[in-house]
Structure 1
Amino acid sequence: MSSLFDRVGGRFAILGMLRSFYDSVFSDPMIGFLFRASDKERLIDREYALVAAALGVEEPYAGRPLEPTHARFKITGGQFERRLVLLEAAMTRCDFPREAVSAVLAHNRGLRSLITKDPGSDCHPT
């Protein structure tokens, strides 16, 4: 049985998906402004290691620690969730298997406390 990493098409497929994802992020009216001063290729390179890990392949992460890096942006729960919506859409566009999409989203959700201190953005009926 092949790994999720292999099933999505490996390194090049992940990098292609991440380019599609970050194109969406940078142009998004809800969160794009947070990325205005960022180097897109650098983000893709750093994000690759995180996606590969979520899919079962350990790649060295060369980025700065996530929590202090994101703290200065005061990212809201809604902005965090918006990024996940764009990530899911990019993986879907690139025909990632549902199991891989779920694994990557779960991995990202596991990092939430390092990215935002804002509570969940779920709406609850009153």
Structure 2
Amino acid sequence: MATSNPGWDVIEEVGGSARMEALMRAFYDRLFDDLMIGFFFAMSDKEALIASQIDYVHAHIGSRQGDYQGPPIRQAHQKMPILVGHFDRRHQILIDVLDQFEVPPHVREAWLGLDRAMRDLVIRQGDQAREEMGYEVFRPKE
């Protein structure tokens, strides 16, 4: 999922540590408050998520100078019934926040590429998600 080493540091490119934290805080504030996906975050520690996401992004794009110690993406999300629409909503919020913070185009593209690469690791297909949530899945008789 990581990009090649392009010689730039993502934290410096967005304006330093304080600006990166402000960007992530804006992102997670929107995620927590979102009507479509906020329920995924209801029992989460926002501060821990912000710190972890900063480490993850820093370790996976740009010169990859960060040190991400969290669980693998698939493992961290495996118990969540994340559908395509949920993922797409989160991705759009990321786009909006990156635009709001006027992230440089090369950083924006690398960051969105990293985010898109997570898609197949976290989403569930409809039947799988419904079964995991305890809903009966309709199966036509053969």
The alignment's TM-score, normalised by the length of structure 1, stands at: 0.84
Write the letter of the residue equivalent to 1:47.
Answer: Q
Paired AA for residue 24 in structure 1: R
Give the superposed CA RMSD.
2.0
Identity value in percent: 31
1:109 aligns with 2:119: no
> Where does 1:3-42 land on structure 2 (aligned, <5 Å)?
3=8, 5=10, 6-42=12-48
Contact 1:4/1:100 (8 A) holds in 2: no
Aligned position for 2:85: 78
Q: 1:46-96, CA deviations, whole angstroms, 9 ceiling, x for partnerless residues?
A: 100222222333311121222122111110011111111111111111111
* Unaligned segments of structure 2, at least 5 residues: 1-5, 127-142
Partner of 1:123: none
TM-score normalised by L of structure 2: 0.75
Tell me, which stretches of 5 or more residues in structure 1 are unaligned?
Answer: 120-126
Aligned length in residues: 119
- 1:49 aligns to 2:32 (yes or no): no
- Which structure has the larger Rg over C-alpha atoms? 2
